[in-house]
Chain A
Amino acid sequence: MTAAPAPSAHSAHSAPSAPGSVPSAPGSPGSPGPAVSRWQSARFRRRVFAIVIFAAMVVIAIVMLYPFWYMGDNSFRNQGQFDQQSGHSLAGWTQLFQTLPVVQELVSSTIVCAAAIAIILLVATTAGFAFAKLRYRGSGLVFLLIIAAMMVPLQSIIIPEYVNLARFNLMSSYTGAILVYAALGAPFATFLMATYYRGISDELIEAAVMDGLSYERTFLRIALPLSLPAIATVTVLQFIQIWDDLLVGYLFLPTNDRTITVGLAVLSSGRTTGIPPLMAGSLVSAIPAIIVYLIFQRYLIRGLTLGMGK
């Protein structure tokens, strides 16, 4: 018994010849065989690659979105429904609003975030412009120190910060927490803004100076409007960081003015509180960050990719 010869990949794709016709040899002049095969192959590879990428993105999206679905789904249950994973009710939400001053905590979080981000932007835009566009002695060294400050973890300086704020009578106040957040966020924001301003042509700044503007007005009229993507990036990143932070809020804010994140931590540490109100609180806490991200996402992508090409 002889084995039939296996068809080649090429012959598998080629159409059968008409009876009596002389098949052209592969590769001979006028034969489209190999070229068509290569084209088909390239298209096939592109399609497979696209499917793989799409599948990977779907998986990543599921991984990212699942916690939100889990939080939303379980927030509409009571503890019994949660344990059995069946049935829905508003018990979780009711319990959340009975246990926590949610509105007050959201207001506190907003005040702290807004004030800290305002200070960070004020410092970062002016300092970033100065580092990027003004020439002065020691500029490189100071910039290096600022980058070094980015490397310092919060936990390692929290005790000195505590002592400093206590000395200035800023404990248990918005001011203390806002200053700590601003101090922690300013180095990275300055670095980002300086990088962005370096991308703005020197000629543009010089053109404004030649047009009669002082450096201060050049900053306000030219550099600042052009740096909106970077400002949006700083805003979103700092908002998420400050909004979600527990440690600073826990240490430096009074109980009456605690942020939503601190409130949730208190809720989760309670013995009697169930999972559904915690899920409801987590959802409430996550929504503002999502809204801020959605508002600024167009600028955020441009800001995050700055310096990655012309």
Chain B
Amino acid sequence: MSRIVLDAVSKQFPGGATAVSSLDLEVSDGELLVLVGPSGCGKTTALRMVAGLEEVSSGTIYIDDRPVNDMEPRHRDIAMVFQGYALYPHLSVYDNMAFSLKYRRAVPKAEVKKRVSEAARILELEPLLDRKPRQLSGGQRQRVAMGRAIVRQPRAFLMDEPLSNLDAKLRVQMRAEIAQLQRSLGTTTIYVTHDQTEAMTLGSRVAVLNHGVLQQVAAPQEMYRNPANLFVAGFIGSPPMNLIDARLERGSSGPGGSGDPGGSGDPGGPDGPQVVFGHHRLGVPAQVTAERPGLARYLGRNIVLGVRPEHLSDAALMRDADAASVIELPVRLREELGSDVQIHCGIGAMVHHGEAALQDVTSLATLVARMDPQTALAEGQQARVHVETTRLHFFDPETGASIRG
């Protein structure tokens, strides 16, 4: 077990492309940190630098407070699980798992056998020890790759999208197994994935990268509730957060009114600010303005409004829907998901199309709502959509940063 620190670590490739830019990250002893981001964001490069498979252009990587930039991978005492498992095809499962112990250091044969047997028992690989990798299923190969890492009892595990080659069902099962295994072993782990669901379910903390720049590091729920910027807001969550180009205005005399830019509406007051997009208008509750005092600076200015799909519901199913929180939208598409229903509504406003939004629906300009399956809303109908206004998110359209303090 160990602590890994990345101090202003950067990686420039010979062609000039920057894969990782001044990355500061600390992984505590026994922690499972998930590095997540879209393809090409630099997460795998960051992991490979920790492994020693890529040179660090600038900055320092510490393992247990010891700089390891110039240390050979084999001397770092770190085990890596690769995306393609990287099992040695000419060796049996047993020999694959015992490989590092045989060649790394002089571990007695009895000890090698004991460790491999123990790992095989944990991973339910005992009946497969004599087989070659080509005789195994994808899930079994993945378990052998894990076993190979476990037997070494390394200071840390590095996992590079280890589940991406598995089918959806097996992925869910293996995800749970990896989480349990990591907790029981208590080994410091850095896990790389592009799958935000994997990141949210596995990580004790999640670090989001984009274009080699760290966007946010937080516990999964904290990241979901309070995304630091537009990129994180659009990346974390499925379906992603609805991001709409909007304007924050001073409130009018009543909800749903025509607006009163010159009015007296103080944030939090009865005539508090309203967020306007297209011909829709939503009152911003006092609680929100109190939590986000920075919003006052944006009165009369453009903002990006963020609404999670699950914070939109069918007003017809609610007894006391606040009229200030209801907007009328045409239903364009209804998608049945079993446990809930996704309703795509036209909003008559621009959907924010920064690269962070990750939704290529600008032309359609739709709002996605995840609703109770009892909703009777159907394509072509006019929906009365209730917006949970206490859960709204606000972002600066220039910097993309969340508007808070």
Binding partners A and B: yes
Q: What band does the interface of chain B fall in when counting residues whose beta carbon is under 8 Å from A?
A: 20 to 34
A211 touches B100 (CB 8 A): yes
Interface centre among A204, A207, A208, A210 (most CB of B within 10 A): A210
Q: List 15 A-B contacts (CB under 8 A).
A: A201-B84, A201-B86, A203-B82, A203-B83, A206-B51, A206-B53, A206-B73, A206-B86, A207-B80, A209-B53, A210-B51, A210-B53, A210-B73, A210-B74, A210-B80
The distance in angstroms between the C-alpha atoms of A26 and B104, with both chains bound, is: 76
Interface assignment of B89: CB less than 8 Å from any CB of chain A: yes
User: Which are the 6 A-B pairs with shortest beta-carbon distances?
Assistant: A212-B104, A207-B86, A211-B100, A203-B86, A203-B82, A212-B74
User: Which residues does chain A contribute within 8 Å of B79, judged by CB atoms?
Assistant: 210
Question: Shortest distance in angstroms between A192's beta carbon and chain B's nearest beta carbon?
Answer: 20
Given the known inter-chain contacts A207-B80, A210-B79, A212-B74, please indicate yes or no for A217 contacting B103, CB distance below 8 A. yes
Which residues of B are found within 8 Å of A225, using beta-carbon distances? 90
A209 to B83, CA, bound (A): 16
Tell me, in angstroms, the Cα distance from A199 to B318 when the chains sit together.
61
Q: A207 — nearest CB in chain B belongs to which residue?
A: B86
* Minimum Cβ distance to chain A for residue B230 (Å): 34
Question: Is B105 close to A, CB under 8 A?
Answer: yes
What is the bound-complex CA distance between A125 and B79, given in angstroms?
Answer: 28
CB contacts (< 8 Å) of A211 on chain B: these are 74, 99-100, 103-104, 148, 152
Residue A214 at the chain B interface, CB threshold 8 Å: yes
CB distance from A265 to the nearest CB of B (A): 43
A222 at the binding interface (Cβ < 8 Å): yes
How far apart sit A203 and B84, CA to CA, in the bound complex (Å)?
7
The yes or no answer to A213 lying at the interface (CB within 8 A) is yes
> Measured between alpha carbons, how far is A211 from B79 in the docked complex, in Å?
7
Point out the residues of chain A lying under 8 angstroms from B86, CB to CB: 201, 203-204, 206-207
Q: Is A301 an interface residue (CB 8 A)?
A: no
| Given known A204-B88, A226-B89, contact A212–B105 (CB-CB < 8 A) | yes
Determine whether B357 belongs to the interface, using a CB cutoff of 8 Å to chain A: no
A221 in the interface (beta carbon within 8 A): yes
Query: What does the 1/0 interface line of A208-232 toward B look like (CB < 8 Å)?
Result: 1111111001000110011000000
State A196–B74 Cα separation when bound (angstroms): 26
In the complex formed, the residue of B with least CB distance to A205 is B86
Q: Number of contacts between A and B (CB, 8 Å)? A: 51
B78 beta carbon closer than 8 Å to chain A: yes
Q: Give complex CA distance A206, B81 in Å.
A: 11
- A208–B74 alpha-carbon span in the complex (Å): 9
CB of A292 to closest CB in B, whole Å: 23
B103 touches A206 (CB 8 A): no
Contacts of A209 in B (CB 8 A): 53, 73-74
Q: Contacts of B74 on A, CB cut-off 8 Å?
A: 209-214
Distance from B110 Cβ to chain A, minimum over Cβ atoms (Å): 20
Bound form: Cα–Cα A201–B88 in Å? 10
Interface 0/1 of B65-100, CB less than 8 Å to A: 000000001100011101110101110000000011
List, in ascending order, chain B residues with CB within 8 A of A208's CB. Answer: 88, 99
Least Cβ–Cβ distance between A212 and chain B, in angstroms: 3
> What is the chain A residue whose CB lies nearest that of B104?
A212
A204's nearest neighbour on chain B, judged by CB, is B86
Bound: A222/B103 CA distance, A = 12
CB distance from A230 to the nearest CB of B (A): 14
Q: Is the CB of B100 within 8 A of A212?
A: yes
Chain A contacts of B88 at CB under 8 A?
204, 207-208, 222
Q: B residues 83-137 with Cβ under 8 Å of A?
A: 83-84, 86, 88-90, 99-100, 103-105
Q: For residue B53, which residues in chain A have a CB less than 8 angstroms away from its CB? A: 206, 209-210
Give the docked Cα–Cα distance between A201 and B82 (Å): 11
Q: A221–B103 contact, CB under 8 A?
A: yes
B interface footprint on A226-259 (CB within 8 Å = 1, 0 otherwise)? 1000000000000000000000000000000000
Which of B90, B103, B104 has the largest number of chain A CB atoms within 10 A?
B103
CB closest chain-A residue, reference B158: A210
A residues in contact with B152, CB < 8 Å: 211
A306 to chain B, nearest CB (A): 15
Cβ-closest chain A residue relative to B83: A203
Q: How far is the CB of B49 from chain A (nearest CB, A)?
A: 13
Chain B residue at minimum C-beta to C-beta distance from A226: B90
Query: Which residue, B82, B86, B152, has most C-beta atoms of chain A within 10 A?
Result: B86
> Complex: how many Å from CA A210 to CA B82?
11
A217 — which chain B residues lie within 8 A by C-beta? 103
A204–B73 Cα gap in the complex (Å)? Answer: 14
What residues on A are CB-neighbors of B82 within 8 Å? 203, 206-207
Provide the bound-state CA to CA distance between A204 and B88, in Å. Answer: 7
A136 to chain B, nearest CB (A): 12
